[in-house]
Amino acid sequence: MTKLSSVLDRADQNIDDSLDRLFDLVRIRSISTDPAYRADCRKAAEWLVNCLADIGFDASVRDTAGHPMVVAHHPGATPDAPHVLFYGHYDVQPVDPVELWEDDPFAPAIKDAGNGRKVITGRGTADDKGQLMTFVEACRAYKEVHGSLPLRITILFEGEEESGSPSLKPFLEANADELKASYALVCDTSMWDSETPAIAAALRGLVGEEVTISAADRDLHSGLFGGAAANPIHILTEILAGLRDETGRVTLPGFYDGVEETPANIKASWEALGRTAETFLGEVGLSLPSGEKGRSVLELTWARPTCEVNGIWGGYTGEGFKTVIAARASAKVSFRLVGQQDPASIRESFRNYVRSRTPADCSVEFHEHGGSPAIQLSYDSPVLTKAKNALSEEWEKPAVVVGMGGSIPIVGDFQKMLGMESLLVGFGLVDDRIHSPNEKYDLKSFHKGIRSWIRIMDALAAK
């Protein structure tokens, strides 16, 4: 038996205990965006420190102005073993609307999903607790078999990824020497499909904004004032509707500065993957592509910028009816960025646009919710090639290199602040319902995810 297969076997033997540990972590309600769950976030960090210490890491909870970081170190088996930084996040999204969950979001369980498929249910199982635990459990199996790890490993888990990571940059800056490694491993992305592993080499950036339009100094009766007084919901809907033209392009001045057309050969390789609007949107009950006209869904979600309204509220929203003209109305708006789009310029262009459309007797307030540029990683580095081969062996299917519609701002921070490229490997699936009710993570993703990291660590350690 080779050394590698012994570790893989150990991971198989450990799987029930590995699941127990994941369940313990999922039970902790670490919703970072809601201050009511502050203590739960700390509890998740402490749980991870204990878990890592148990494997032999030198692990600690590190305070920040927000939720704490977890930092852990483990030497490699040899002094010249490569040094990697593994990153994940222990915080999760809010669970509302909670009435749409089939089960308590914080009571994880294994459920049969048909066709012999089993899934792990609960908030954070896929984003990102289940994913980060694939790496931790890979380390555990390796350590148990060999008494050592093949790489020198630093771990960084943050607790603010779902709320804009306000403490991350100051923390990277203050601890750059401690955290810098040869490259970073990040496990917060998806497979191409349930059988095909994927490595992400392009990530969209993000600008998040909250805008509130205020009109009268109180709510008004729409009978007494309707037709004469400004209605902030009208102003807001007109502003939001005007953000896109009839071709689906965003209308903000300068918005497309730094956006380049995707090279023809890359487009061709994406087309070969065979994802159509029908198959992609069909999984969520839709069929017609929205957004910019004349582009494939892969291009729309990987290589084109967007503007999405993520939330809107104003006036009476309870049962029944109330003939009110609200004093104010608000929306949360996000822009996904690609290429060289500059988050600060786009935020300013948005704000100027909103101000220009707000009547002189009304006022507007903005609140910033994070911003990060898009990321483009190398398509053919040695690290990527080793990982690609390791994944292909585990899944018995060639791994594909893809773009990602989502944003993982830390990858840009690692580039800029620590001079370190990232390898983005994850085992999520498109139907995991991350950020939605009934989030799940496939048991196969978890189990083969652990095995995948064992193979990747082994491959990265090889000369």
Residues 398-417, interacting with a copy of itself (CB under 8 A): 404-407
Report if residue 207 touches a copy of itself, rule: CB under 8 A.
no
Among 61, 216, 266, 273, which residue sits at the site for a copy of itself (rule: CB under 8 A)? 216
Among 15, 145, 230, 417, which residue sits at the site for a copy of itself (rule: CB under 8 A)? 230
Report if residue 425 touches a copy of itself, rule: CB under 8 A.
no
Report if residue 253 touches a copy of itself, rule: CB under 8 A.
no
**Shortest distance, CB of residue 339 to a copy of itself, whole angstroms?**
14
- Contacts of a copy of itself in 140-179 (CB under 8 A): 162-164
Residue whose tokens read 């198959």: 279
**Shortest distance, CB of residue 218 to a copy of itself, whole angstroms?**
5
- Contacts of a copy of itself in 109-138 (CB under 8 A): none
3-state helix/strand/coil string of 255-271: CCCCCCCCCHHHHHHHH
Among 46, 193, 219, 421, which residue sits at the site for a copy of itself (rule: CB under 8 A)? 219
Element (H, E) at 370: strand 363-372
**Shortest distance, CB of residue 317 to a copy of itself, whole angstroms?**
4
- Contacts of a copy of itself in 33-52 (CB under 8 A): 33-35
> With respect to a copy of itself, which residue has the nearer C-beta, 162 or 413?
162
Q: How far apart are CA 170 and CA 155, in angstroms?
A: 17
Report if residue 238 touches a copy of itself, rule: CB under 8 A.
yes
- Number of residues in contact with a copy of itself, rule: CB under 8 A? 101
Q: CA separation (Å) from 252 to 209, 213, 323?
A: 14, 19, 34
- Contacts of a copy of itself in 53-112 (CB under 8 A): 93-94, 96
Go through the chain and tell me how many residues it has. Answer: 463
Q: Phi-psi category of 28—alpha, beta or left, where left has phi over 0 and alpha has psi -120 to 50? A: beta
Q: Which amino acid is at 428?
A: G
Structure tokens at 112: 């049969």
According to DSSP, the β-strands at 152-158 and 83-89 are parallel
Among 51, 55, 215, 425, which residue sits at the site for a copy of itself (rule: CB under 8 A)? 215
> With respect to a copy of itself, which residue has the nearer C-beta, 264 or 288?
288
Q: Which amino acid is at 151?
A: L
According to DSSP, the β-strands at 205-214 and 363-372 are antiparallel
Report if residue 321 touches a copy of itself, rule: CB under 8 A.
yes
Stretch that binds a copy of itself, among 59-67, 69-77, 171-179, 330-338 (CB under 8 A): 330-338
Structure tokens at 118: 């089993």
Structure tokens at 78: 């040899």
- Contacts of a copy of itself in 265-294 (CB under 8 A): 277, 280-281, 284-292
Helix axes 129-146, 443-461, angle to 10 degrees: 50
Residue whose tokens read 């840009």: 412
